[in-house]
Amino acid sequence: MNKVQSINFNDFMKGDWKKPSIKRYAIGIGAVALLIPKTALASTADGMFGNVHEAIMNAFDAGVVLVIIFAGAAWGLGHRSKAIEILIGVCCGYILARHAVDIRDFLKGI
């Protein structure tokens, strides 16, 4: 159970109260953020990018399925217009995400 701490309003407004320290997390997240690009680019561009892209797209596919199920449930509960809006949005987003590499290659060729 967490400890409850009362802070005087005037001290709070002046900024004289002790703020919780989150420096450890910021350093850890920063280190991971700096290492990810080096790890991703350490191998050949096509090999490693293909693996990372495929893993991300597999997770994205699962998310799309969950959103489609949610839209179906919304439709079934009588929120037809909202369900159609969700389905259109998820379909457009899925097409853009699946063809992001093709779009990038097309724009590079212009």
The tens digit of pLDDT for each residue in 32-58 reads 555 555 555 554 555 666 678 788 888
Contact (Cβ atoms closer than 8 angstroms) between residue 64 and residue 94: yes
The C-alpha atoms of residue 56 and residue 36 are separated, in whole angstroms, by 14
Q: Where are the alpha helices (DSSP H) in 1-110?
A: 9-14, 23-41, 45-76, 80-98, 100-108
Q: How many CB atoms lie within 10 A of CB 83?
A: 19
The tens digit of pLDDT for each residue in 67-102 reads 999 999 999 999 999 999 999 999 999 999 999 888
Domain ranges of the chain: 9-108
Name residue 20's amino acid: P
Count of residues in the chain: 110
